Amino acid sequence: MKIKQYRTYFIQELSSFYDAYEAESFFYLILEDRHKLRQIDLALNHGLNFSETHIATWSVFLDQLKKEVPVQYLLGKTNFYGLDFEVNENVLIPRPETEELVEWIINENANTDKSKKLKILDIGTGSGCIAVSLAKNLPNAEVYAIDVSKKALETAKKNAVNNNVEVTFMFQDILELEALKYNFDIIVSNPPYVRNLEKAEIKKNVLEYEPHLALFVDDHDALIFYKKIASLAQKNLLKNGQLFFEINQYLGQEMTDLLENMNFSNVELRKDIYDNDRMIKGTI
């Protein structure tokens, strides 16, 4: 069967589960990963064919996508801030909004004295996407990362090696720490922030397959991680140190109040590409 014909079939088969644009994006992600063919290759060569063996492999992908298993988990990888990251059921799939947080940190610190080490801590590192991206793009950075999941840390360590950066990973429950081991110039975190009351807004592919440990917090203490991390930052950020958070879009004002009440200065709330309150910065 011609690949272009199979593409039409593939999109139609997924029409009950995804819109055509998303289904087509899945098709090209799998095509490039499994066959090293890009959309332009298909456009320039209408005669490209799939063998029966190829179609059998694609049928497995179709079956899993109909169950709404994230395509990134099926491929075992995703791209984040121009880098490839291994992902699996033990880590969240990195989002474009988090790339914006990384971009903010890099831009804020791109002109720092390159002879001075910039000590950075990523709390709740998951796949390591924030820590690894910062280590890759800030040459003077000395990056540390914490997670409460040993399996997530295994994945993060692989991603650091695969992207040729050094990150010091630590297995710790941040809620149980009284103080951090070192002092830092920057502390960043994308902690769990989705309240249980918001589960109805979460798509099945996230709700059923991504780790709840990294997603959800109790409705009655939604800022538990932010309070704890901000408290640690008060003790362990160096003078003029920066605290960055990714946040729940509905709690922008609450987060601004939290940081200001804890005596952080220059508190700045930013929106993401979807115009939602998504990230905040404070200086100690």
> Residue 283, SS3?
strand
DSSP for 170-201?
A: EE--GGG-SS-SS-EEEEEE----EEGGGGGG
Checking if the pLDDT of 248 tops 80, the result is yes
Determine the pLDDT at residue 112: 77
Determine the pLDDT at residue 10: 96
Q: Does residue 181 share a domain with residue 262?
A: yes
Q: What is the CATH number of the domain that holds 102?
A: 3.40.50.150
Mind listing the pLDDT tens digit for each residue in 138-156?
Answer: 999 999 999 999 999 999 9
Domain boundary among 17, 38, 67: 67
How many domains is the chain partitioned into structurally?
2
Checking if the pLDDT of 217 tops 90, the result is no
Residue 92's domain comprises 86-283
Determine the pLDDT at residue 17: 93
* Percent of the chain scoring above 90 in pLDDT: 82
- What CA–CA distances, in Å, run from 156 to 72, 140, 143, 144, 244? 16, 20, 13, 12, 20
Please, which residues have CB within 8 angstroms of residue 51's CB and are 6 or more apart in sequence? none
Considering the domain boundaries, does residue 73 fall inside one?
Answer: no
Considering the domain boundaries, does residue 51 fall inside one?
Answer: yes
Please, which residues have CB within 8 angstroms of residue 207's CB and are 6 or more apart in sequence? 199
Please, which residues have CB within 8 angstroms of residue 155's CB and are 6 or more apart in sequence? 86, 87, 88, 90, 91, 126, 127, 128
Q: Does residue 199 share a domain with residue 91?
A: yes
Q: Does residue 184 share a domain with residue 125?
A: yes
Q: Does residue 101 share a domain with residue 44?
A: no
Determine the pLDDT at residue 219: 84
Domain boundary among 24, 40, 67: 67
Lowest mean pLDDT among 56-70, 103-117, 138-152, 236-250: 103-117
CB 109 within 8 A of CB 186: yes
* Percent of the chain scoring above 70 in pLDDT: 100
Q: Does residue 97 share a domain with residue 26?
A: no
Q: Does residue 233 share a domain with residue 103?
A: yes
- Picking from 177, 179, 194, 183, the residue whose alpha carbon sits closest to that of residue 249 is 194
Cα(257)–Cα(263) distance, rounded to whole angstroms? 10
Determine the pLDDT at residue 28: 96
Determine the pLDDT at residue 203: 80
- Phi (first) and psi of residue 45, to 5 degrees: -135, 90
